[in-house]
Structure 1
Amino acid sequence: MEDIPQMGLPELHKETGIKENKNHPGFLIFKAENVSDYMISGNPFRNVMYGLNFFIEGDGEINIDFNSYKPCKNSVHFCCPGQVVTAKGSFTNGIGVIFQKDFLLKPGAQQWVQSLPIFSRFLSSPVVELQEEDKPLFHALLREMEKEYYSDAILKYDALEALLTLMLVKLSRFYEKSNEEKISVDAQHIQNLEALINKQYKNNRSVVEYAAQLYMTPQNLNRITKKAIGKSVSELINERLIIEIKRYLVYTDMSSEEIAHFFNFYDNSYFIKTFKKAVGQTPKAFRKAQKHLLRLAL
């Protein structure tokens, strides 16, 4: 079975030419000029890291799960594990900060990172535009990160952990400010639900089971999601499932029947009906249209 190629730290070190630090391999900083031709040739890859991409310029285009974004000198792009990314064109002046979820070693750090609104696809866009008054702060943080990253100073990675934590806090506050909303208790429930769906969507499509894991009734969970983002729990589960099916249709050579079976649709006609209801096209028509767009883009 052919799967979508993954891009993690080993692959990034190979593609950027930056030597891997064996003592603490969970963190990488690289500049736009280090990006290889492969990474900006339109080849798809599944991101397996958390990523912050700052101040990208150029005439390129980034596509994250079938949504395209143009580079902007005042922007920050956020990447989450599992997303499929393609990029093409030229990129300049950008700085990427990539880290594994276990890079931050304080107790509860992994859950903390997953709870941040900048990494929630249910609640936020993967791009934010910085205001002019905010840019000096992030430039200063990035300069200090680069200084530590390329140094041999004692407690180097302790400093990088502290700087990354501060960066994530500042970005989350900026996100909250730019959206003029507080991260409410309901939003925290939705982030917890998103984490569960990301882990279980392939085999678990039961609203009752998700609600039970969050210690609430299905009715209450539906009320929260409807109020916050205008969608039911079933719609959120189905959207996550459809995104992954789209990835396999476009970026693998698996047949529609194989994909249906892989995602536990044991009736292919039901798979086609479900996909067409969500997307407006049959799996075959969607694949053909997307493949045509990819050929035009290359």
Structure 2
Amino acid sequence: MDDLSALAQLRLVAIPRLAAGGRWRVEAMRAYSEPCLLWFTKGQGRITLAGQTRGYTANNAIFIPPGVMHGFEVGPQVFGTAVFFGRDSKVTLPKEPHHLRIRETFVAQELNITLDAIQREMDSDSPAHDRATRHYLGLLSVWLERQIAKAAPDVQKPDAARRLVARYTTLLEQEFRSGMGVAEFAASLGVTPTHLTRCCKQACNRPASALLHDRLIFEARRLLSETDLPVGLIAGSLGFTSPAYFTRAFQHQVGKSPSAFRRAP
């Protein structure tokens, strides 16, 4: 894919807009198929990234590679920008997730200026605006690399429990449609369901089953709101043994049936 096609996939979205249509769109566990940078400029909340829950505040930058499960709170006072780089981005980006707490004002301002410049060039019809966008994206890439290197000495290596939960969420993102339960996931990871749940509670204060159900119900909500697929087909595509079982599970978590959720404005 050429650079122009890759740039066409680039989007900058105000973080509050990500929750348009329901806060479940950001709070439930799910993964993107493209790299994403969340830059919070105001407010605070909690984010679960690769199975580990942390607090975030203003001037926090969170890089999420494709396929990494996450979910975060977006309260009414939370503002910032989400950068979606596209599936075919040519930008040099980290391979691992990172949560950066930016304490120097001038460093935060550097990122604000770069994001403003990217958006301005994307909106422009001036000559070479696409080339300017690529160059500003390169500066964003350099900013990320430098801040990750600066933070490295203070980053604690995850313990065994958190490493296990990260492996679980990676496998869960790959296999959540398979109908596997927590016992099958635990067996694939070489641990007992009890140990896996204990580690999940330690890392994100939620049992392993809650992460699985959250991921399934997010996908169900997405399919119900964005497609016309019959409820029975959605249930089958997500590994539920019957539409009735799917309906009970959905209603328990959402508070309304799949059909009622689809009809709601």
Q: Which amino acid aligns with 2:255?
A: G
Q: What is the CA–CA distance in structure 2 between the aligned matches of 1:165 and 1:21, rounded to whole Å?
A: 19
Against the structure 1 CA distance between its residues 142 and 212, is the aligned structure 2 distance closer, same or farther, given a 3 Å change threshold? same
- Does 2:258 match 1:283? yes
Q: What is the CA–CA distance in structure 2 between the aligned matches of 1:281 and 1:53, rounded to whole Å?
A: 31
SS of residue paired to 1:52? strand
In the alignment, is the contact (CA less than 8 A) between 1:29 and 1:98 conserved in 2? yes
Q: Which amino acid aligns with 2:260?
A: A
Q: Which amino acid aligns with 1:255?
A: P
* Count of residues in correspondence between the two structures: 219
SS of residue paired to 2:177? coil
- Which among 191, 206, 220 is matched to residue 195 of structure 2? 220
Q: Which amino acid aligns with 1:48?
A: S
What does residue 231 of structure 2 align with?
A: 256
What does residue 197 of structure 1 align with?
A: 172
SS of residue paired to 1:272? helix
What does residue 167 of structure 1 align with?
A: 144
Q: What is the CA–CA distance in structure 2 between the aligned matches of 1:140 and 1:194, rounded to whole Å?
A: 34
- Which among 116, 119, 132 is matched to residue 97 of structure 2? 116
Q: What is the CA–CA distance in structure 2 between the aligned matches of 1:30 and 1:246, rounded to whole Å?
A: 23
- Which among 113, 138, 141 is matched to residue 111 of structure 2? 138
What does residue 34 of structure 2 align with?
A: 49
Following superposition, the deviation at residue 241 of structure 1 comes to 0.4
Report which structure shows greater RCO (CA 8 Å, sep ≥6): 2
Against the structure 1 CA distance between its residues 258 and 239, is the aligned structure 2 distance closer, same or farther, given a 3 Å change threshold? same
- Which among 211, 226, 236 is matched to residue 236 of structure 1? 211
Measured against aligned partners, the alpha-carbon deviations of 1:250-276 in whole angstroms (never above 9, x if no partner) come to 121122222222223242221111111
Unaligned runs of 5+ in 2: 26-30, 43-57, 71-79, 122-128
Q: What is the CA–CA distance in structure 1 between the aligned matches of 2:185 and 2:235, rounded to whole Å?
A: 23
TM-score by structure 1 length?
0.52
Q: What is the CA–CA distance in structure 2 between the aligned matches of 1:167 and 1:95, rounded to whole Å?
A: 14
In the alignment, is the contact (CA less than 8 A) between 1:145 and 1:163 conserved in 2? no
Q: What is the CA–CA distance in structure 2 between the aligned matches of 1:218 and 1:272, rounded to whole Å?
A: 25
Q: Which runs of 4+ in 1 moved over 4 A?
A: 26-32, 42-47, 53-57, 73-83, 101-105, 128-132, 139-147, 149-152, 159-163, 171-174
SS of residue paired to 2:85? strand
In the alignment, is the contact (CA less than 8 A) between 2:35 and 2:65 conserved in 1? yes
Measured against aligned partners, the alpha-carbon deviations of 1:52-76 in whole angstroms (never above 9, x if no partner) come to 265789xxxxxxxxxxxxxxx9675
Following superposition, the deviation at residue 80 of structure 1 comes to 6.5
- Which among 155, 158, 172 is matched to residue 184 of structure 1? 158
Against the structure 1 CA distance between its residues 258 and 53, is the aligned structure 2 distance closer, same or farther, given a 3 Å change threshold? same
What does residue 222 of structure 2 align with?
A: 247
Q: Which amino acid aligns with 1:136?
A: Q
Against the structure 1 CA distance between its residues 240 and 95, is the aligned structure 2 distance closer, same or farther, given a 3 Å change threshold? closer
Q: Which amino acid aligns with 1:222?
A: T
Q: What is the CA–CA distance in structure 2 between the aligned matches of 1:256 and 1:165, rounded to whole Å?
A: 46
Measured against aligned partners, the alpha-carbon deviations of 1:11-35 in whole angstroms (never above 9, x if no partner) come to xxxxxxxxx516x948976667xxx
Against the structure 1 CA distance between its residues 94 and 280, is the aligned structure 2 distance closer, same or farther, given a 3 Å change threshold? closer
Q: Indicate the RMSD between aligned Cα atoms, in angstroms.
A: 5.0
In the alignment, is the contact (CA less than 8 A) between 1:141 and 1:167 conserved in 2? no
Q: What is the CA–CA distance in structure 1 between the aligned matches of 2:11 and 2:226, rounded to whole Å?
A: 26
Following superposition, the deviation at residue 141 of structure 1 comes to 6.6
Following superposition, the deviation at residue 222 of structure 1 comes to 1.4
Unaligned runs of 5+ in 1: 1-9, 11-19, 33-38, 58-72, 84-92, 119-127, 293-298
In the alignment, is the contact (CA less than 8 A) between 2:183 and 2:192 conserved in 1? yes
In the alignment, is the contact (CA less than 8 A) between 1:116 and 1:172 conserved in 2? no
Q: Which amino acid aligns with 2:111?
A: F
